[in-house]
């Protein structure tokens, strides 16, 4: 039995693409049942609709509080039997409403070797710091900014002549291979722990 999962994205959805491709070619034993986005006009939303995947797109400013919109997200997830969440360029910190409902079942991908360069514009941070290496991290999500337990990391070399676009391309190549593989590893483990998982 495959796991029903949701992807949260705010931007172009390149990692969303990678996850959907991995599901469709059997590298992830799961089904993407929902795309959640805080940017109704984002490319990720367009892509989900093209894929025929349900979308919950919202503006946080339409709700009295974070708890209110997160309660609605949780309802949307539960209506579809979702058991796992992958953040893929979702630019909002999750609150305790979602974290509590899906504890231990939310992962994120970040374009640095955490704990180095957390938060926004990790590639720009790395280049400004003049380091020769950055990378990609997949980690469990907690209440902090990119502070959850690390699951997998892959380094990416920054050459002296690399532009920002060069580094971004290298990182995305790693992300699009690492994230689906790591998600499948976690889903396999979850399915072996059915009582805790359900």
pTM summary value: 0.94
Tell me how far apart the alpha carbons of residues 65 and 67 are, in angstroms, rounded to a whole number. 5
Q: Is 197's pLDDT higher than 60?
A: no
110 is catalytic: yes
Q: Is 2's pLDDT higher than 90?
A: no
117-160 per-position pLDDT tens digit: 999 999 999 999 999 999 999 999 999 999 999 999 999 999 99
pLDDT at 1: 65
Q: Which domain holds residue 27?
A: 3-197
154-193 per-position pLDDT tens digit: 999 999 999 999 999 999 999 999 999 999 999 998 887 7
Are residues 109 and 175 in contact, defined by beta-carbon separation less than 8 angstroms? yes
Nearest of 1, 183, 6, 3 to residue 77 by alpha carbon = 6
73-106 per-position pLDDT tens digit: 999 999 999 999 999 999 999 999 999 999 999 9
Domain of residue 150, CATH code: 3.40.50.170
Kindly name the residue from 39, 47, 83, 110 that is annotated as catalytic.
110
Q: How many domains does the chain have?
A: 1
């Amino acid at each position: 039995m495959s796991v029903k999962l949701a992807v949260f994205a705010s931007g172009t959805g390149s990692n969303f693409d990678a996850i959907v491709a991995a599901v469709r070619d059997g590298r992830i034993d799961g089904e993407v049942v929902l795309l959640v986005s805080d940017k109704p006009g984002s490319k990720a939303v367009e892509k989900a609709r093209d894929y025929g995947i349900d979308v919950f797109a919202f503006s946080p400013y339409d709700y009295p509080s974070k708890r209110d919109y997160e309660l609605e997200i949780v309802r949307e997830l539960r209506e579809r039997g979702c058991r796992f969440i992958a953040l893929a360029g979702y630019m909002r910190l999750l609150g305790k409403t979602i974290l509590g409902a899906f504890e231990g079942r939310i992962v994120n991908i970040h374009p640095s070797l955490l704990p180095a360069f957390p938060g926004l514009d990790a590639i720009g941070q790395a280049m400004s710091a003049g380091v020769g290496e950055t990378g990609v991290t997949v980690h469990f999500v907690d209440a902090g900014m990119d502070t959850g337990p690390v699951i997998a990391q892959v380094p990416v070399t920054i050459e002296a002549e690399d532009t920002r676009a060069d580094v971004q391309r290298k990182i995305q190549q790693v992300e699009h291979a690492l994230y689906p593989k790591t998600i499948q590893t976690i889903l396999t483990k979850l399915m072996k722990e059915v009582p805790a998982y359900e």
